[in-house]
Amino acid sequence: MFEYGCDQAHVGITGIAGCLGAVFAAPNQLYAVHIPPNDATVNRIGADAFIAMVQGGEGALHPAGSLHVFVNGMLRPTVDDETRHIFDALGAPATTRIYRLFAGLTPPIGSVNPLSATIKVQWIAGALQLGYKHVPDNQLIQGGNARTGRYRGSLEDDPKRPSNGELAAGWNQMTNPNCFIVRVH
Protein backbone atom coordinates (compact mmCIF):
# COMPACT_ATOMS: atom_id res chain seq x y z
CA MET A 1 0.00 0.00 0.00
CA PHE A 2 1.04 3.62 -0.57
CA GLU A 3 3.50 2.29 -3.17
CA TYR A 4 4.37 2.87 -6.79
CA GLY A 5 6.61 1.20 -9.32
CA CYS A 6 7.31 0.50 -12.97
CA ASP A 7 8.38 -2.24 -15.34
CA GLN A 8 8.84 -2.57 -19.08
CA ALA A 9 6.52 -5.55 -19.54
CA HIS A 10 4.11 -6.00 -16.63
CA VAL A 11 2.83 -4.42 -13.42
CA GLY A 12 0.42 -5.60 -10.77
CA ILE A 13 -1.53 -4.06 -7.93
CA THR A 14 -2.78 -6.25 -5.06
CA GLY A 15 -5.43 -5.61 -2.45
CA ILE A 16 -7.79 -3.26 -4.27
CA ALA A 17 -10.83 -3.02 -2.01
CA GLY A 18 -11.64 0.62 -1.23
CA CYS A 19 -8.37 1.55 -2.89
CA LEU A 20 -7.60 3.16 -6.21
CA GLY A 21 -5.09 1.55 -8.54
CA ALA A 22 -3.74 3.43 -11.54
CA VAL A 23 -1.53 2.37 -14.44
CA PHE A 24 0.01 4.63 -17.07
CA ALA A 25 1.01 2.64 -20.14
CA ALA A 26 3.77 4.42 -22.04
CA PRO A 27 5.09 2.83 -25.25
CA ASN A 28 8.10 1.26 -23.49
CA GLN A 29 7.20 1.31 -19.79
CA LEU A 30 4.29 0.59 -17.44
CA TYR A 31 3.84 2.66 -14.27
CA ALA A 32 1.55 1.69 -11.37
CA VAL A 33 0.37 3.12 -8.05
CA HIS A 34 -1.78 1.81 -5.16
CA ILE A 35 -3.67 4.57 -3.31
CA PRO A 36 -5.59 3.27 -0.27
CA PRO A 37 -8.70 5.18 0.86
CA ASN A 38 -7.68 8.12 3.00
CA ASP A 39 -8.41 11.80 3.33
CA ALA A 40 -8.17 13.98 0.23
CA THR A 41 -4.72 15.34 1.19
CA VAL A 42 -3.10 11.89 1.49
CA ASN A 43 -4.86 10.68 -1.67
CA ARG A 44 -3.46 13.71 -3.53
CA ILE A 45 0.06 12.94 -2.25
CA GLY A 46 -0.24 9.45 -3.77
CA ALA A 47 -1.52 10.80 -7.08
CA ASP A 48 1.24 13.42 -7.20
CA ALA A 49 3.93 10.79 -6.48
CA PHE A 50 2.55 8.72 -9.37
CA ILE A 51 2.46 11.75 -11.70
CA ALA A 52 6.06 12.65 -10.79
CA MET A 53 7.22 9.07 -11.43
CA VAL A 54 5.56 8.98 -14.86
CA GLN A 55 6.77 12.44 -15.90
CA GLY A 56 10.29 11.76 -14.61
CA GLY A 57 10.50 8.32 -16.20
CA GLU A 58 9.22 9.55 -19.55
CA GLY A 59 11.11 12.86 -19.44
CA ALA A 60 8.03 14.90 -20.35
CA LEU A 61 5.24 16.78 -18.57
CA HIS A 62 2.71 15.35 -21.04
CA PRO A 63 4.03 11.92 -21.99
CA ALA A 64 2.59 9.68 -24.69
CA GLY A 65 0.55 6.80 -23.33
CA SER A 66 -2.76 5.73 -21.84
CA LEU A 67 -4.16 6.04 -18.32
CA HIS A 68 -6.13 3.22 -16.66
CA VAL A 69 -7.72 3.66 -13.21
CA PHE A 70 -9.20 0.75 -11.25
CA VAL A 71 -11.64 0.68 -8.33
CA ASN A 72 -13.62 -2.10 -6.74
CA GLY A 73 -17.29 -1.67 -7.62
CA MET A 74 -18.76 1.47 -6.12
CA LEU A 75 -16.38 1.71 -3.14
CA ARG A 76 -14.41 4.79 -4.25
CA PRO A 77 -16.88 7.68 -4.70
CA THR A 78 -14.02 10.17 -5.30
CA VAL A 79 -12.56 8.27 -8.27
CA ASP A 80 -13.81 10.77 -10.86
CA ASP A 81 -12.09 13.74 -9.18
CA GLU A 82 -8.93 11.76 -8.44
CA THR A 83 -8.72 10.57 -12.04
CA ARG A 84 -9.32 14.09 -13.36
CA HIS A 85 -6.33 15.36 -11.35
CA ILE A 86 -4.00 12.70 -12.81
CA PHE A 87 -5.52 13.10 -16.29
CA ASP A 88 -4.97 16.89 -16.31
CA ALA A 89 -1.44 16.67 -14.88
CA LEU A 90 -0.38 14.14 -17.55
CA GLY A 91 -1.73 16.30 -20.38
CA ALA A 92 -5.10 14.57 -20.93
CA PRO A 93 -4.02 11.20 -22.38
CA ALA A 94 -6.33 10.40 -25.31
CA THR A 95 -7.09 6.95 -23.93
CA THR A 96 -8.14 7.30 -20.30
CA ARG A 97 -10.53 4.87 -18.65
CA ILE A 98 -11.97 4.25 -15.19
CA TYR A 99 -12.75 0.57 -14.56
CA ARG A 100 -15.27 -0.26 -11.82
CA LEU A 101 -14.67 -3.97 -11.21
CA PHE A 102 -17.63 -6.21 -10.41
CA ALA A 103 -17.51 -9.80 -11.77
CA GLY A 104 -15.97 -12.35 -9.41
CA LEU A 105 -15.81 -9.95 -6.46
CA THR A 106 -19.24 -10.59 -4.91
CA PRO A 107 -19.23 -9.96 -1.15
CA PRO A 108 -19.00 -13.08 0.98
CA ILE A 109 -22.16 -14.05 2.89
CA GLY A 110 -22.58 -11.75 5.87
CA SER A 111 -20.43 -8.96 4.40
CA VAL A 112 -21.34 -5.84 2.49
CA ASN A 113 -17.83 -5.29 1.12
CA PRO A 114 -16.73 -7.01 -2.10
CA LEU A 115 -13.64 -9.21 -2.22
CA SER A 116 -10.36 -7.44 -2.90
CA ALA A 117 -9.06 -7.41 -6.46
CA THR A 118 -5.59 -8.02 -7.83
CA ILE A 119 -4.86 -6.12 -11.04
CA LYS A 120 -2.53 -7.40 -13.78
CA VAL A 121 -1.47 -5.17 -16.69
CA GLN A 122 1.02 -6.38 -19.27
CA TRP A 123 2.27 -5.88 -22.79
CA ILE A 124 1.80 -9.07 -24.86
CA ALA A 125 2.87 -9.00 -28.50
CA GLY A 126 2.52 -5.20 -28.60
CA ALA A 127 -1.01 -5.18 -27.14
CA LEU A 128 -1.92 -4.01 -23.66
CA GLN A 129 -3.69 -6.75 -21.66
CA LEU A 130 -5.66 -5.81 -18.54
CA GLY A 131 -7.04 -8.40 -16.13
CA TYR A 132 -8.20 -8.79 -12.55
CA LYS A 133 -9.32 -11.41 -10.07
CA HIS A 134 -9.61 -12.00 -6.34
CA VAL A 135 -6.43 -13.57 -5.00
CA PRO A 136 -6.82 -14.75 -1.39
CA ASP A 137 -4.18 -13.43 1.00
CA ASN A 138 -2.83 -16.95 1.53
CA GLN A 139 -2.08 -17.13 -2.21
CA LEU A 140 0.13 -14.03 -2.19
CA ILE A 141 3.76 -15.09 -1.97
CA GLN A 142 7.09 -13.33 -1.70
CA GLY A 143 8.37 -12.16 -5.04
CA GLY A 144 7.72 -9.63 -7.72
CA ASN A 145 9.86 -6.64 -8.56
CA ALA A 146 11.00 -4.20 -5.92
CA ARG A 147 8.88 -1.10 -5.67
CA THR A 148 10.19 2.17 -7.03
CA GLY A 149 9.04 4.03 -3.94
CA ARG A 150 6.53 4.63 -1.20
CA TYR A 151 4.82 7.98 -0.68
CA ARG A 152 3.76 7.37 2.92
CA GLY A 153 5.55 5.37 5.62
CA SER A 154 8.48 3.10 4.93
CA LEU A 155 9.02 0.05 2.76
CA GLU A 156 8.47 -2.45 5.54
CA ASP A 157 7.66 -5.73 3.84
CA ASP A 158 8.90 -7.65 0.84
CA PRO A 159 7.06 -7.41 -2.47
CA LYS A 160 4.30 -9.97 -2.88
CA ARG A 161 2.78 -11.51 -5.98
CA PRO A 162 0.13 -14.14 -6.68
CA SER A 163 1.35 -17.73 -6.39
CA ASN A 164 2.16 -19.54 -9.64
CA GLY A 165 -1.20 -21.33 -9.51
CA GLU A 166 -3.06 -18.04 -9.11
CA LEU A 167 -1.06 -16.42 -11.92
CA ALA A 168 -1.91 -19.21 -14.32
CA ALA A 169 -5.66 -18.86 -14.77
CA GLY A 170 -8.96 -17.31 -13.83
CA TRP A 171 -8.35 -13.69 -14.76
CA ASN A 172 -11.37 -11.56 -15.67
CA GLN A 173 -10.81 -9.36 -18.70
CA MET A 174 -11.42 -5.62 -18.30
CA THR A 175 -14.46 -5.61 -20.55
CA ASN A 176 -18.20 -5.24 -20.15
CA PRO A 177 -20.02 -6.98 -18.43
CA ASN A 178 -17.15 -7.80 -16.02
CA CYS A 179 -16.72 -4.16 -15.19
CA PHE A 180 -18.29 -0.80 -15.84
CA ILE A 181 -15.93 1.30 -17.98
CA VAL A 182 -16.06 5.09 -18.13
CA ARG A 183 -14.10 7.02 -20.74
CA VAL A 184 -12.56 10.24 -19.43
CA HIS A 185 -12.22 13.19 -21.82
Residues whose CB falls within 8 Å of the CB of residue 114, separated by 6 or more in sequence, listed in order? 17, 72, 73, 75, 102, 105, 106, 107
CA neighbor of 66 nearest in space, from 17, 99, 101: 99
Q: Rounded to an integer, what distance in angstroms lies between the CA atom of residue 36 and that of residue 32?
A: 13
Average pLDDT, the chain: 85
The pLDDT > 70 percentage for the chain reads 82
Taking residues 130-145, report their average pLDDT: 72
Q: Is the pLDDT of residue 19 over 70?
A: yes
Residue 112: pLDDT over 80: no
The backbone torsions φ and ψ at residue 49, rounded to the nearest 5 degrees and listed phi first, read -65, -40
| Predicted confidence (pLDDT) at residue 148 exceeds the cutoff of 60 | no
- What number of CA atoms fall less than 13 Å from residue 76's CA on the CB side? 28
CATH of domain 3-177: 3.30.1330
Q: Cα separation of 132 and 99, whole Å?
A: 11
CB 1 within 8 Å of CB 49: no
